[in-house]
Amino acid sequence: MKNHPAPCPRCFQSRAAPAFFAALLSLGMTVFLLGSPLFAAVSPEPVLFFNRAGIKTLKERVASPAYKPTWDPILAYADGVCDPGSRHYADPVAFVEAARNTKEKNLTHMFPRRLSGWMETLSFAHAMTGKKKYKEHAIKLLHAGIDDAIVNVVNGSIYAGVRGDMMRALAIGLDYFSPLMTPEQRAPVVEAARKCMESLAEEFARPDSQWHAWTVPHNFSGVTGGAAGLLALVLREDFPDKSREWLGMAETIVLNWLDAAFEDKGANIEGVDYMQYGLGNALMLAEALARVEKRRAIIEHPKLKMVSYFLAMQILPGASGYEARNDSRYDSDRGESKGTGAPFLLLLASGFNDATRADPLAAWLWTQSRRADKNLMQIAWHHLGVEHLGSQVKSPAQLIPAPYGEHFKKRGLCVWRTGWAKDDTYFAIEAGHYIPVTHNQGDKGHFTLYGLGQRWAVDVGYGNNRDPKGRSQTVTHSCVLVDGKGQALSGGGLGTDGDVLDYINNNAFGYALIDAKSAYNKNDKDMPGVPVTKALRHAFYVRPSEGVPAYAVVLDDIEEEGAPHAFTWQMITWETMQVSEKDSGTFVVAPSGGSSQPRMVVRVSAATGLDLAHAPLELAGAPGIDPLKYIKLTATSQSTGNPRFAALLAPLPAGYRHDPALSVRKISQGTLVSIEWPGRIDRILWNGDKATLMNPVKPAK
């Protein structure tokens, strides 16, 4: 970890966008170039998203037919927040009462984020319309938000993210409404903001605090560092000297997070959801710093430039969702939801409003994955300009060289894909080292497979708890259980280690060798799991060729000594799939619709006999997390040592008539795994920690 001074000058060679991208993106960006010097002795005016001079441009924008679909829902929501008869009404009295009568965990997750969303919406509605009701209700809510029942709990919480949520809410509220409040109205809000900043600064000054230890790689650092910087900018008139110190601290927190939590190829060590949560506030600060004070240390961070590449490798083929690994969700927020995150892809796509630094890959991602939620940043950051840029990219294949695959080493994530269209396929497997106390699950060696418009082998998504049967544990992942037990307890601040021992990506196939022994044996707190002596998993992804579609093969070399054990191979699929068990060791997984739909043939082999089963897997919800249903496929083998599972996962396009066959037999060099297709037999030679895809042969006539 680097401890960056502030400001921290950096330089690197950025990826230049083509000239026509630059020309497109330059349209409509001038509003961001307006702004006064950071500590000019003038009356406070907004700086976080726009200033008074920029309001005219924004009014013209919201009045245009092109922005009507974005602006109308924002205005309607603002009206609802102020209307006691609306389901969106924000009642200041009820807000405080609820805070005084709820548990800390609920408080820290709910109230600051709601307040932040209300401040975003009401400030923009007032700026665009001038209607008094938005200002008056916003000030009432801001005063409710600084009630001791909220602020004291927030400042005393070890959950640093909630402190960022609160500072963001105060920053946005003060940024716009400061000159519209009386001195008596403004003073208590400023005092609450000062307390938040001083509390963070006191902690940061201690070398042994969380800000120099476990929090550094956690999303908390992006959330809190970013928000602290926003609040420092807003308090520049009230505390000129202190605000400079606070701003330097905030920038350092964000830069340290980017160093520790991201790898050179853009992958974050946590799931996509938490990466986006951290980046939201951090990049809001980066944009404001660059525009107001010409400080570009965050923007120029080289790892940030690769985030769009990581997301492009994570997005599902022909879909808007990303992989749901590590406490994420397939329909995860892209920064549109009010109060959390920010539509950071807009900033990356625009090069932070610098057309010469535009990122067309980020623009494509925005056009593919944005949700229906609307917020002021989509208008202030000119999403139509970015969408125009994104429309010029038909596929990431224009920007990423084939063959498409990557080993994100710090994360331990291996991915391969044929492309980004609906008919393409995507296969992934993960086994990285746990970095306390980031989000982690008992899923070392867990595979996922998507394509042909379907989610075949899936992740169960958000867990973040220690429920032995919950979403964070091996029992709900496509891994192997031993006597019904999986890897050591994970989630909720616990984690396990895995290793990627080998990785290959070429035009013919992809391959990874996973070692999950440590994950089965114990977690980071030395809590025991299963005492396996070996847990190797070979994963092959064979690219399509000669009329054979893409498919995967997974080979398990897992062993526990002693009496016979029940080894259970698992695969989790989507609840809407229809699963049937065919001949010995075969499942067929298909959506409804019969022969007009694709299907996946799953064949499993083991050294001893197999018992196949499939059953619904229903997982409980949590605050903000819906309960979800899946189907779990299992193949159980009773073995005195090593079941040596071999599994074929073959997604077949609609109309493909031939189901591939799987055979496993001993030969002098080891074990020969054969996959027979019409006119071709693919072969894998498997011998312990070695597995090699051999040249295909023609079937005997």
- In Å, how far are 313, 401, 412, 509, 511 from 506, measured between CA atoms? 16, 12, 19, 6, 9
> Does 9 have pLDDT greater than 70?
no
Is the Cβ–Cβ distance between 595 and 686 less than 8 Å? Answer: no
The residue ranking higher by pLDDT, 310 or 45, is: 310
Closest to 294 measured CA to CA, from 29, 33, 28: 33
Lowest mean pLDDT of 110-124, 175-189, 212-226, 344-358, name the range. Answer: 344-358
> Which amino acid is present at 258?
L
Structure tokens at 521: 């044996």
The one-letter code for the residue type at 306 is M
Tell me the mean pLDDT in the region 324-333.
82
| Token pair listed for 171 | 């920053």
Torsion angles phi and psi, residue 161, rounded to 5: -60, -35
What is the rounded average pLDDT of the residues 156-173?
A: 86
* Coil, helix or strand at residue 109: helix
Contact predicate 646/553, CB 8 Å: yes
Q: pLDDT per residue over 391-431, tens digit each?
A: 899 999 999 999 999 999 999 999 999 999 999 999 999 99
* Residue 675 CA to its chain's centroid (Å): 35
The pLDDT, as a whole number, for residue 156 is: 72
Residue 260: what are its φ and ψ, rounded to 5°?
-85, -30
Name the residue among 501, 489, 644 with its Cα closest to residue 559: 644
Q: For residue 202, which amino acid is it? A: E
Radius of gyration of the chain, Cα coordinates, nearest whole angstrom: 27
C-alpha 290/C-alpha 688 separation (Å) is 55
**649-668: b (≥16 Cβ within 10 Å) or e:** bbbbeeebeebbebebeeee
Give the confidence band of 32 by pLDDT, cuts at 50, 70, 90: very low
d(CA 133, CA 82): 7
Q: Are 569 and 559 in contact (CB under 8 A)?
A: no
pLDDT mean over 163-180: 94
E-state strands within 183-282: none
**Could you give the CA distance from residue 691 to residue 536 in angstroms, rounded to a whole number?**
11
Q: Is the pLDDT of residue 495 over 80?
A: yes
Take residue 579 and report the two structure tokens written for it: 């699963």
Tell me the pLDDT band of 16, cut-offs 50, 70 and 90. very low
pLDDT of residue 158: 65
3-state helix, strand, coil in the chain (%, to 5): 40, 25, 40
pLDDT, residue 404, reads 98
User: Which pLDDT band holds residue 24 (cuts at 50, 70, 90)?
Assistant: very low
Q: How far apart are CA 448 and CA 403, in angstroms?
A: 19
**Domains of the chain listed by start with CATH number:** 19-40+48-397 (1.50.10.100), 403-653 (2.70.98.70)
* The pLDDT of residue 297: 96
Euclidean distance between CA atoms 171 and 166, whole angstroms:
9
Q: Which tens digits make up the pLDDT trace of 553-587?
A: 999 999 998 889 999 999 999 999 999 998 789 99
CA-based max dimension of the chain = 92
